[in-house]
């Protein structure tokens, strides 16, 4: 087990982030706090989701701070429609949990987030921002890129004059700011030093800001992030990049070059850890075998999961986690035959590695992220070995390449089952 018992988290809380949070709580981890950031959903929704999950798991006392609302390269962020297919529009499988922090989109309008909060953009607003040189990120792609999906303004798919193959040239070259979430990371690093592990399961924007705010303190902490791919195809449209890194390639690149003790838990290992329906069914079976009435159906998308009150009962927690997992299992099966056996445990594996590094085997390699696409510069968002490592005296990243996927799925399932059994 790790010698760093204190954890500070940076999460864009969607389905697998919530499962990772449950795993950490079930494992008895000391969570100093959570920085809720943009990514799977808008930052405001991520914060709401994080607090909701913590409440239901009986840990409402864990501080949740507002993290970055947009990447370092764009002052506006729109949640990608593709993420909704894997996480639900609210990030939690569209369960009826509390109230949504995100307004419902209307035709001809886009819901975005900037540093001050949620904004509604018309088509004219989007065009004006672009023409003034302000980038708008749609899940990591600038508006105008054919992959920047804006279902409420489909005209943008055909407006070639708005296409921008390169991010470079925007005046907002680095528009990231100090957030409460980044400050939480800095404060934790100053307090706990080498006994702190920073666990990032979303974009690395806040970790980057924290490192630049106090590099000496934050570099003493261990960093474990879910993201990247070295030996596997990516999970973005180009099959090269991984989603968390693509959201903010500049921030990820700076983190990898920061000379910190950094472990990359990417698709190389997470795609080998597939949680299937039979694994999830055990959580429900255990509850029913203990005489708890089953008045929910965790396979119907979880729409009827009751969330009245906080610190929920064994039954409610079991059906919450099972509903989240089953939603993701169905979505992943529909997306690619390689996930026929189940959902990849992306964020739970990174969380587990933060507690026990021996779960994975790593390859020591100085890493960078390419930030431009084109001849001689690479593919924007690709994680790759640093070709200048020897010249720059770069520090190696621990790149996770080996894992016993079946063993980890059993471990994850057992830990969650044990936690559920411990509840009243």
191-241 pLDDT, tens per residue? Answer: 999 999 999 999 999 999 999 999 999 999 999 999 999 999 999 989 999
Instruction: Return the pLDDT at 16.
Output: 97
Instruction: Return the pLDDT at 52.
Output: 96
Furthest CA-CA distance within the chain: 65
Instruction: Return the pLDDT at 4.
Output: 54
Helices (H), 214-313: 215-218, 243-247, 249-256, 267-270, 277-289
Decide if 357 contacts 10 (C-beta within 8 A): no
Instruction: Return the pLDDT at 393.
Output: 86
Q: How many CB atoms lie within 10 A of CB 155?
A: 11
**Range 199-229 burial, b when 16+ CB lie within 10 A, else e:** bbbbbbbbbbbbbbebeebbbbbbbbbbbbb
Decide if 326 contacts 277 (C-beta within 8 A): yes
Given a cut of 50, the residues of the chain with pLDDT beneath it are 158, 160, 163, 165, 167-169, 171, 292-296, 300-302, 306-309
Instruction: Return the pLDDT at 294.
Output: 44
Instruction: Return the pLDDT at 132.
Output: 85
Give the pTM. 0.92
Rounded distance between C-alpha atoms, residue 182 and residue 180, angstroms: 6
Helices (H), 150-259: 180-192, 205-213, 215-218, 243-247, 249-256
Number of H helices, E strands in the chain: 15, 17
Q: How many CB atoms lie within 10 A of CB 1?
A: 9
Helix (H) or strand (E) segment spanning residue 35 = strand 30-36
């Amino acid at each position: 087990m790790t010698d760093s018992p204190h954890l500070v988290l940076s999460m864009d809380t969607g389905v697998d982030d919530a499962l990772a949070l449950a795993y950490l709580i079930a494992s008895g981890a000391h969570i100093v706090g959570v920085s809720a950031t943009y990514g799977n959903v808008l930052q405001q929704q991520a914060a709401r989701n994080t607090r909701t999950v913590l409440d239901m798991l009986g840990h409402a006392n864990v501080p949740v701070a507002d993290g970055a609302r947009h990447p370092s390269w764009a002052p506006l962020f729109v949640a990608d429609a593709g993420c909704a297919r894997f996480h639900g529009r609210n990030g939690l499988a569209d369960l009826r949990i509390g109230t949504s922090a995100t307004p419902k989109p209307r035709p001809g309008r886009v819901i975005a987030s900037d540093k001050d909060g949620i904004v509604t953009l018309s088509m004219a607003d989007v065009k004006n921002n672009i023409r003034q040189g302000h980038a708008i990120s749609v899940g990591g792609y600038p508006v105008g890129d054919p992959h920047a999906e804006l279902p409420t303004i489909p005209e943008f798919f055909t407006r070639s004059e708005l296409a921008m193959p390169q991010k470079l040239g925007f005046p907002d070259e680095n528009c990231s700011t100090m957030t409460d979430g980044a400050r939480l990371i800095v404060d934790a690093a100053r307090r706990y030093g080498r006994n702190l592990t920073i666990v990032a399961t979303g974009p690395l924007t806040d970790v980057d800001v924290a490192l630049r705010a106090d590099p000496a303190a934050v570099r003493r902490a261990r960093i474990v992030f879910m993201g990247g791919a070295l030996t596997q195809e990516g999970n973005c449209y180009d099959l090269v990049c991984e989603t968390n890194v693509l959201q903010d390639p500049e921030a990820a690149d700076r983190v990898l070059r920061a000379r910190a003790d950094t472990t990359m838990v990417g698709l190389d290992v997470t795609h080998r850890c597939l949680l299937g329906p039979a694994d999830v069914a055990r959580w429900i079976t255990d509850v029913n075998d203990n005489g708890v009435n089953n008045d929910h159906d965790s396979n119907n998308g979880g729409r009827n999961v009751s969330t009245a009150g906080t610190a929920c009962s064994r039954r409610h927690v079991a059906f919450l986690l099972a509903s989240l997992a089953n939603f993701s299992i169905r979505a992943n099966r529909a997306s690619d035959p390689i996930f026929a056996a189940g959902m990849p445990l992306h964020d739970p594996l990174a969380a587990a590695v933060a507690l026990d590094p021996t779960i994975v085997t790593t390859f020591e390699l100085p890493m960078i992220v390419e930030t431009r696409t084109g001849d001689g510069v690479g593919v924007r968002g690709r994680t790759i070995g640093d070709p200048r490592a020897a010249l720059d005296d770069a520090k190696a990243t621990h790149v996770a390449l080996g894992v016993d996927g079946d063993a980890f799925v059993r471990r994850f399932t057992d830990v969650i089952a044990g936690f559920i059994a411990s509840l009243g």
